[in-house]
Amino acid sequence: MTFNKFSEWIRNFQTLSPNSTIYLCFWIFGLINNILYVVILSAAIDIVDTDIPKSLVLLVDILPSLTIKLLSPFFIQRIRYGYRIILLIILSCVGMILVSLKDLWICLLGVGLASLSSGFGEVTFLQLTHMYKEISLNGWSSGTGGAGLFGSAVYWLVTTVLHIPIHISLLLFSILPFGFLLYFRLGTYVEYQALPNPEITTIDIEAPELEPELGVFIGDHSNEESISSHVLETLAKLKVLVVPYMLPLTTVYFFEYLINQAVSPTLLFPIATPDENSMSHLSLFHKYRDYYVTYSILYQIGVFISRSTAHSFRVKKLYILSFLQAINLFIVLLQSTNYIVHQPWSIMVLIVYEGLLGGSSYVNTFLNVLSNVRPQDREFALGSVSIADSLGILLAALVGMKLEPTLCQHQINNNRPWCTLD
């Protein structure tokens, strides 16, 4: 019966229109590529002890991703997309198997491999959106938002509600990367989408033109050109992208990941005992770690909504989102240090709003790249701008390593020792 249902799903998939197929494939790519990253961050409270900053997991979860993004503009054009897909599957599966083990350092090694896969996958699929136009970017963005919601919610469900052991819960996610094989279904649609784009573009990257062919990314370099010349030209192309796209995306992610990984573990409220009829007890916050996991889900709800709809609400001035996210950080810092509100509801609403801003920044950044960068440079730009979000997350992890313990100690000194409790 199961095989028949699967066969029916394949037949239905094959009858979809080209646009629907492209959207669905990229939605699945976004879901799979980001879900391991989200699950690992949701599991940070369980991976490390209470006396270890959660930003340690964030640091290990983002540093390999950022490294591969930083290096990819210099070499990724030499690797065909099919080979990249196979590598992504191997890295993701092995990474999650290691994460599921109980030894902290082996677990962190697995986090690093999953991070490497996530960063490499983001560059790969964002570059692919150049071939399949805005419909693919919309699918990718919505899928990455869905990854956040699905990953954090499922992890909460299996660990908090169903009480499945942590290592088994993490191991289950190692099956998902095989969905990347859908890439090989896309080949028949490249000619359908890879047509000259008639829109007027406004930004040129002064560098050799790039051939828009599926599977390769070819720079117009002669054989005699030195490596140093190639590096300088690549850096010149990157420089043009910094101010309009990369800097606003970096700052938004810096502020929001400081909130998520450094401040939210300290946004705690008293846990009611079973015999107390209080809102805290009714809200299912039975342990202090439940606040952290709940905040993660709420944040991902906001991200999913904005990444799925932001293409309909375009933001051209990206720095507005940076400013609004900075205000959110200021508010939660005040709450953490001064305990202004004594119930979690307003904080929960703010966390959703924070996710809305973060998801909107991501989508609008890449939509603006598609609109403003000339077609022959667009593939390079889409892959390179993805450096920005990882850089912001890395900076947040480094600052958070100090910020979270400082906030926790401040709360202990003010008779709020909840950050040290399970």
Q: What is the DSSP string of 10-54?
A: HHHHHTS-HHHHHHHHHHHHHHHHHHHHHHHHHTHHHHS-TTS-T
Answer yes or no: is pLDDT of 274 > 50: yes
Answer yes or no: is pLDDT of 54 > 70: no
Tell me what pLDDT residue 119 has.
92
Which has more pLDDT, 69 or 50?
A: 69
What mean pLDDT, rounded, does the chain reach?
81
Nearest-angstrom CA–CA distance, 3 and 15: 19
- H/E element holding 211? strand 211-213
What is the mean predicted confidence (pLDDT) over 316-324? 95
Nearest-angstrom CA–CA distance, 80 and 92: 19
What confidence category does residue 377 fall into, taking pLDDT thresholds of 50, 70 and 90?
Answer: confident
Which has more pLDDT, 325 or 229?
A: 325
Q: Which CATH number is 17-189+233-420's, of 3.40.50.150, 1.20.1250.20, 3.40.50.1010, 3.30.450.40? A: 1.20.1250.20
| Nearest residue to 148 (alpha-carbon basis) of 389, 396, 394, 405 | 389
φ/ψ (deg, to 5) at 82: -60, -40
Enumerate the β-bridge partners of residue 253: none
Count other Cβ atoms within 10 Å, centred on residue 89: 19
Nearest-angstrom CA–CA distance, 387 and 1: 45
Q: Residues with Cβ < 8 Å from 369, sequence gap 6 or more?
A: 241, 245, 378, 381, 382, 385
143 close to 200: Cβ distance less than 8 angstroms: no
Answer yes or no: is pLDDT of 212 > 90: no
Tell me what pLDDT residue 278 has.
47
Which has more pLDDT, 217 or 192?
A: 192
Three-state SS for 79-103 is CCHHHHHHHHHHHHHHHHHHHCCCC
What confidence category does residue 294 fall into, taking pLDDT thresholds of 50, 70 and 90?
Answer: confident
What is the mean predicted confidence (pLDDT) over 357-385? 90
| 222-251 b/e (C-beta count within 10 Å ≥ 16 → b) | eeeeeeeeeeebbeebbebbeebbbbbbbb
Q: Delimit the domains of the chain by residue range.
A: 17-189+233-420
